[in-house]
Amino acid sequence: MTFETHPDKYRHWRLSCDGAIATLALDVQEEGGLGDYRLKLNSYDLGVDIELADAVQRLRFEHPEVRVVIVRSALERIFCAGANIYMLGQSSHALKVNFCKFTNETRLALEDASAHSRIAFLAAVNGTCAGGGYELALACDEIFLVDDGSAAVSLPEAPLLGVLPGTGGLTRLVDKRKVRRDLADVFSTLAEGVKGRRAVAWGLVDAVHSTSRFWNAVDSRARELATGSDRPTNARGITLGPLNPHVDDDGVSYSHVELSINRAARTADVTVTAPSEIQPQAIDEIVEAGDRYWLLRAFRELDDVLLRLRFNEPDIGTIILRTRGDLERVVSVDVALVAHEQHWLVREIIHFVKRVLKRMEQSARSFVALIEPGSCFGGTLFELALAADRSYMLDDAERPAYVSLSPMNAGRLPMGNGLSRLHTRFLARPAHVDELLEKIGPLDASAASEAGLVTAAPDELDWDDEVRLAIEHRAAMSPDALTGLEASLRFAGPETLETKIFGRLSAWQNWIFQRPNAVGERGALAAYGTGRGRPEFDWRRT
């Protein structure tokens, strides 16, 4: 499975831009699914969401003039029927969970673009809007619903399928839209949903308009929202070109990232290389570099690697992170970013790096960072070591390894909990973070270990055995237990909408997707649309 696409290749979305307002129109091709099922009624599968993720990314980088995106359907009287049920019924457990995870990341990307790129998203719900379709609308800033007597919004997963709204629907109802708990309870158990003025009164949508006034109201509101953005009106965007990786049975290689797979050991090595040349410091030069700018290119490649591992390599449980190259050159990139962080393009690069690091932490894989001579874990790249579950740094006086902090470690790349990785690491010692950031320069293994920045710093005599045993020990444990353990430990500190969504996906959605009440021979998801009658439930509460 691959994750790169382009508007010229879209099968299910139409992206158009008219000055400050863009339109994303959903027009799902029934025969265009990734499996043996038909995508009726604008229902979607992973392929539809891959295109949506690409569109949002391109709007941020290629269209800086866009301030509002209208998300609508190209079909009459149907907005989106949600995730395709037959696709879910055919999918393996792993694919169902990873599909929900990718869809969540895409919905959060819309919200991130609203919060940090100042792009407002307006859902124009021109017909039936169910399940994942309503969850897409919930990810937008505002929802307009046509009042035609039949159009409704609904989250029918519990009553119809025995599962839950897997892309954060319940969480967004009560945390984002602040719908009353009792009303949310009624709504989430009504298969037919809620329509008209009742939907407005309950807080499920922001406005309803008659069929004759609907599109004029959408256009008028979009123009109002556009006035509240600070996006540049005359800036030139950059084109996100193809990554063109070299793929073989044992891995994938890109310009700055290499993936090497050891299937016998169930491990993979991911190596990120520093820029081979001094990177531009002036903003005009950064803009001119475009998608060839080292940090943007490297993290686009890393993002692709993470998705390939997630979907294509389910048996690979432990990822070994390495870096290679000039540490000072890496830190100099961070200095330039911080100097120009108010520029729209630099802002987008920083927030993209943030999202890739979050995708890493949301992956059900163990990450181990190895810091060796020739490594360049500095600043932004040191975030990889901080995001890892463990980090080992070689302590060898004759062949020293170094790490370095930069201003990018001071909160510009927050985790899903809203804190920096340093602050999350040292929850009990917040003053220690300030002390570390004051002495940003290179730290050897002894200093990094004393500062608490690495898990362990074995010497040259113990290095090979200690690292080997740690990785072999990890690979021998139950992957189910490790997934739960890692998800519980990675997001210490405050609870946010984001940590709730992924915590619940890791816990109850993962569990519900395996229960006979949902996927057993007589389960609701398995029985849906087969004509076999009502599902049969085990009525015991667990």
**Residue 421 maps to which CATH number?**
3.90.226.10
Contacts of residue 505, defined as CB under 8 A and 6 or more positions apart, other chains included, come to 97, 100, 101, 104, 166
In the chain, the number of structural domains is 2
Note the pLDDT tens digit of each residue in 485-540: 998 899 899 999 999 999 888 777 778 888 999 999 899 988 888 888 889 999 99
Read off the pLDDT of residues 193-244 as tens digits, 9 standing for 90 and up.
999 999 999 999 999 999 999 999 999 999 999 999 999 999 999 999 999 9
β-bridge pairing 127-130 and 152-154: parallel
Note the pLDDT tens digit of each residue in 279-303: 999 999 999 999 999 999 999 999 9
Residue 166 pLDDT > 90: no
Q: What is the reported pLDDT for 528?
A: 87
- CB hemisphere CA count around 90 (13 angstroms): 13
Alpha-carbon distance of 506 to 201, in angstroms, equals 33
pLDDT band at 162 (very low <50, low <70, confident <90, very high): very high
Tens of pLDDT, residue by residue over 321-334, are 999 999 999 999 99
- State the amino acid at position 330 in one-letter form: V
My answer on whether 204 and 63 are in the same domain is yes
Q: Say yes or no: 201 and 290 in one domain.
A: no
Convert the pLDDT of each residue in 345-363 to its tens digit.
999 999 999 999 999 999 9
Interatomic CA distance for residues 94 and 71, integer angstroms: 29
Share of the chain above pLDDT 70, in %: 100
Confidence band, pLDDT 50/70/90 cuts, at residue 440 = confident
Question: Which structure tokens are listed for 397?
Answer: 């006086």
Note whether 528 and 162 are within 8 A (CB). no
Query: What local confidence, expressed as pLDDT, does residue 529 receive?
Result: 82
Is the pLDDT at 403 greater than 80? The verdict is: yes
In a domain, 432, yes or no: yes
- Residue 14 lies inside a defined structural domain of this protein: yes
Please indicate, yes or no, whether residues 325 and 208 belong to a single structural domain of this protein: no
Structure token digits, residue 84: 């395709």
Enclosing domain of residue 186: 7-226
| Domain match, 120 and 267 both | no
Residue 532 has a pLDDT of 81
Q: Are residues 268 and 212 in the same domain?
A: no
Per-residue model confidence (pLDDT) at position 441:
83
Distance CA 6, CA 493 (A): 38
Torsion of CA 196, 199, 204, 210, to 10 degrees: 20
